[in-house]
Structure 1
Amino acid sequence: MNELKFPEGFLWGGASWATGFEGARNEDGKSPDVWDDWFSKEPERFYDQVGPDSTLDMYHRYKEYVKLLSDLNINSFRFSISWSRFIPDGKGEVNEKAVLFYQNLIDELKKYHIEPIICLWHFDLPLCMQEIGGWLNRDVVNYFVDYCEAVFNRFGNQLNYFVVLNEVGVLPQGGYLYDFQPPNRINFKESIQAGYHLLLAQAKVIQCYHKHHYPGEIGTVLNPNPVYPRSDDPKDLEAAKFVDMIRERFYLDVSVNGEIPKDFLEFADEYELTPVIEDEDYQILKDNTVDFLGVNYYQPCRVQAPDENWEDSKLKFYPENSRQKQSDRYPEKGQLMPEKFYKIYDKPDKKMNFSRGWEIYPKGIYDTLMRLKNDYGNIKCYIGENGMGVENEENFIDEHGQVIDDYRIEFYQEHLIWLHKAIEEGSNCFGYHVWSPFDNWSPINAFKNRYGFYRYDLTNKTMTVKKSGLWFKELCATNSLKK
């Protein structure tokens, strides 16, 4: 049996987020965030009408869950801080009960020699911030920086890694184009403005962190999915170039190089989509780039040339339970949408997740890391999320009550083989985090798709390790992949 050895000190871990893990939505001073608000207004949009108040209750059970992480030999764990818990009114006093919870969680992780990685924002804007315009309002950028500085004041000297934002490009898509996140807008120009303000906030937070000379490093998490054209036809290549520009390079170039891509600005100017940029912003972006990148990878993006009459083509990204009626899933008459410039390509022979419907393409993780190596100065990075969600996992429980998820083991093995190849070829990758160690609540889908190494029983609230968890335990212990 061959063994693939990973670098000494490699971080093996998992990722989580406050909304899907913490629970205690109305306790100890936490104010509502955008998910609480959306669920209160449209519970029918969420699977089985299970909202963010029905999560894993990390707030009360953190000791139990950290011990379960340790039992898998995990040595790092990324969790996010809830802005609406830490500073309930968004811009005022720090909630000391929140500080105590996060300090206790950090201490418990360190007790078991698990590296804490704090993410400062994972899609959960305080409702009070959304009510003044959310990420379209530049004031929210400054309030966010103040919140992050308050977090640094409490934890900055204790940690080696901070992450400013998770999947910076997802909110502009989900919240401002395709209606799968709050604030459920469909407006291309607003999408670009929100994306720009997130990047500006990121740079200002990095500036704040380095100003205080904290001992660690600060980065951000992107999902720079590789974009593959259907063919070498110039129209397909042009479509792929557009998607890469609007969804990947905009965020990569600013985060790593501190520059907005020239072709992005030219496109935005041509179609009157240019975000409001103040003169001093350019230098702030240039001077405050990331120390490292988190790279989330689940599936590739495959595209082809757009339909000639794109306005009459049904948009592909609306979820089945979109609040818009099926017959209304079109942009407003005359409204520009990205689908004018590309169309998703459904590759006939692709390997599929049999449950969720996402493509499984392990080589994409290699292609992504090689791009960072070759085009972005081999920026220091780690895999921030990678995982396989499966519905109805009770169908795979054996007579001993364990989920026999060989499909998940195969998924991870195939991706890790390509990850190891990238490291062998010089990728500056220092860790690998799964999504997620535990089955957890996710937006709209609730507990429909399970990702964890531990199965969460919704009835009795217990955790049971899956076969994949025992496999990962050995991987972490040996720092090597057997194949």
Structure 2
Amino acid sequence: MSMLTRRRLLSPAELSATAGTTGPGPRAGALATAGAAIAGAATAGGPVAGGGTGADPDTDPTDRPRGALRFPTGFGWGAATSAYQIEGAAKEDGRGESVWDTFSRTPGRTRNGDTGDVAADHYHRYADDLDLMRDLGLRSYRFSISWPRIQADGTGAVNQRGLDFYRRLVDGLHERGISPMATLFHWDLPQALQDAGGWENRDTAYRFAEYADAVFRGLGDQVPVWLTINEPKTVVQNGYLFGHHAPGFQDPQAAYLVAHHLQLAHGLSVRALRATGSAGRIGPALNLHPCYPADGSPEAARAARLYDGYENRLYLDSILKGSYPADVLDDLGADSRLARGVADGDLEIISSPIDLLAVQYYTPYYVTGDGATVTRWPTSQADWQQIYPDGMYDILTRVTRDYGPVPLTVTENGLPQADTLSADGTVDDAGRISFLRDHIAAAHRAVSDGVPLESYHVWSLLDNFEWAEGYDQRWGLVYVDYPTQRRVPKRSAHWYREVIRANGL
């Protein structure tokens, strides 16, 4: 393993900089609030009078989309969640234990010792949450299915009570005119499979394919879009390099074997869907980060290229080109566990044709000549997140330029704020509006330049359990008062409703 790789994997600064989409680094606090960080937050305007459901954009003309940037007819405006972050009901209706149950209940692993045992109680309140989605005007809802709710130990017979919950959810979406987009794996691996080696064990990929087949056959064509693995990179980096996500390991050699098995699981599940004869579409959900040289030196250019290999091409190339990037393989070494773990035919499975690619964008990276990263832009409450809307344009156009016109969907984009419920029952999150406006504008520019972008999903619909950060960070369009589970649409929710109504900005 090269010196660059060692520095990249073991640098404390990387602990926060490589955190995944909804998995911020361990440092507390923000370097700047979103409202202060985002240039041009002219929509701030202070608290807005209104009822208990938040500020109404009809009373604040600055929030109204002006119609200058229209998206294609039928564009899928949506929001996203994941099972462990919102469902709760951790021990109900036959659900088994997941790695996140174990991790979050281990002292010192999450902020304040928070767990997802209750979260936003979506399991019991899903009908009301569906009504919230309808009132927002959502056209698409991206959610995840809890593997241990379907198979308590990750294998064997389907838990019908768990499957029935998702059938009710999907039926409720259709009744409200919202298109379901289901993610098969959003990090909640059954603990029994972890006890048998987890994603280091090649067999886990095959157990995942069996689980996926059961879900495909159980929900059928009621789900038009399936996403296979959510952010394999975050599992690799946060779960196996730095240890601040489940399963909590620090083992660089294991990490990239895990990357291969996650990719293999993706390919096997694509083939499982095809075998059912379903008309559903399928693809992976990758968090992609543009990697820029921090200066004009040749050393920075080379280091940024390799950094991009670990951040992006390791996953994109294997899925869309059927090979792992040579520079990453060389950097890891010929005797790495990844290199030794690739069996004949694996890359053909991994590169099974997909119907779409889900892109999740949060932050850029600026890489110095020695492989470190530097901060160039204001950060959100999550101090790993630099706010740089042009990065959205750059990563979308780069995927189309380098990999061809595969249909794209943005399945996560958002930021956390220290949102508070005002005395008048409103939540004024003007900084989030500015963030979303700028990133949606960047996405529109990409569409105008030929990117086949089909839909955009805000992360997140609801405030939720934010992994290692517990409940300290709020990412939602809808405020959740956790003691009462009351939902309060924030000012950004009302603004987003108008964006959907206008089909643009």
Would the TM-score normalized by the shorter structure come out above 0.5? yes
Partner of 1:321: none
Point out where structure 2 has 5 or more consecutive residues left out of the alignment.
Answer: 1-65
Partner of 1:57: 121
Question: Please, which moves more after superposition, 124-133 or 180-189?
Answer: 180-189
Partners in 2 of 1:272 and 1:194 — Cα distance?
12
Alpha-carbon shift at residue 357 of structure 1 (Å): 5.7
Alpha-carbon shift at residue 137 of structure 1 (Å): 0.3
Which residue, out of 237, 241, 247, partners 2:305?
Answer: 241
Partners in 2 of 1:184 and 1:459 — Cα distance?
29
Matched, 1:194 2:218: no
Which residue, out of 246, 256, 261, partners 1:182?
Answer: 246
Matched, 1:212 2:279: no
Which residue, out of 453, 456, 476, partners 2:477?
Answer: 453
Partner of 2:97: 32
Alpha-carbon shift at residue 271 of structure 1 (Å): 6.4
Per-residue CA deviations over 1:315-356 (Å, capped at 9, x if unaligned) read xxxxxxxxxxxxxxxxxxxxxxxxxxx111222xx2332675
CA shift in 2, pair 1:62/1:252, >3 Å: same
Per-residue CA deviations over 1:259-284 (Å, capped at 9, x if unaligned) read 22233333333564524111122332
Which residue, out of 164, 170, 173, partners 1:100?
Answer: 164
Point out where structure 1 has 5 or more consecutive residues left out of the alignment.
Answer: 307-341
Which residue, out of 106, 109, 115, partners 1:41?
Answer: 106
Normalization by structure 2: what TM-score? 0.84
Matched, 1:344 2:373: yes
Partners in 1 of 2:438 and 2:186 — Cα distance?
28
Which residue, out of 76, 87, 92, partners 1:11?
Answer: 76
Q: Please, what is the CA RMSD of the aligned residues?
A: 1.4
Partners in 2 of 1:144 and 1:289 — Cα distance?
18
Partners in 2 of 1:355 and 1:138 — Cα distance?
34
Alpha-carbon shift at residue 359 of structure 1 (Å): 1.1
Within 5 Å, which residues of 2 pair with 1:288-437? 288-306=352-370, 342-347=371-376, 350-353=377-380, 356=383, 358-391=385-418, 393-394=419-420, 397-437=421-461
Within 5 Å, which residues of 2 pair with 1:122-161? 122-161=186-225
Partners in 2 of 1:261 and 1:24 — Cα distance?
42
Partners in 1 of 2:196 and 2:504 — Cα distance?
50
Partners in 1 of 2:400 and 2:342 — Cα distance?
30
CA shift in 2, pair 1:115/1:222, >3 Å: same
Does the 8 Å CA contact 1:356/1:390 hold for their aligned counterparts?
no
For 2:430, the aligned partner's letter is: D
Partners in 1 of 2:482 and 2:347 — Cα distance?
49
Partners in 2 of 1:272 and 1:70 — Cα distance?
49
Which residue, out of 461, 477, 480, partners 2:501?
Answer: 477
Per-residue CA deviations over 1:40-95 (Å, capped at 9, x if unaligned) read 222x3322222110301111111000100111001111111111110112111100
User: Helix, strand or coil for the counterpart of 2:85?
Assistant: helix
Relative contact order: is structure 1 or structure 2 higher (C-alpha 8 Å, sep ≥ 6)? Answer: 2
Partner of 2:181: 117
Per-residue CA deviations over 1:168-197 (Å, capped at 9, x if unaligned) read 211010111011212211111111100000
Partners in 1 of 2:334 and 2:208 — Cα distance?
31
Per-residue CA deviations over 1:278-297 (Å, capped at 9, x if unaligned) read 112233234x1321111111
User: Helix, strand or coil for the counterpart of 1:480?
Assistant: coil
User: Helix, strand or coil for the counterpart of 1:249?
Assistant: helix
**4+ residue runs of structure 1 moved beyond 6 angstroms?**
none
Partners in 2 of 1:2 and 1:28 — Cα distance?
47
Matched, 1:22 2:87: yes
Partners in 2 of 1:180 and 1:378 — Cα distance?
36
User: Helix, strand or coil for the counterpart of 1:157?
Assistant: helix
Does the 8 Å CA contact 1:254/1:289 hold for their aligned counterparts?
no
Alpha-carbon shift at residue 371 of structure 1 (Å): 0.4
Between the two proteins, the alignment pairs up a number of residues equal to 439
Partner of 2:60: none
Matched, 1:85 2:171: no
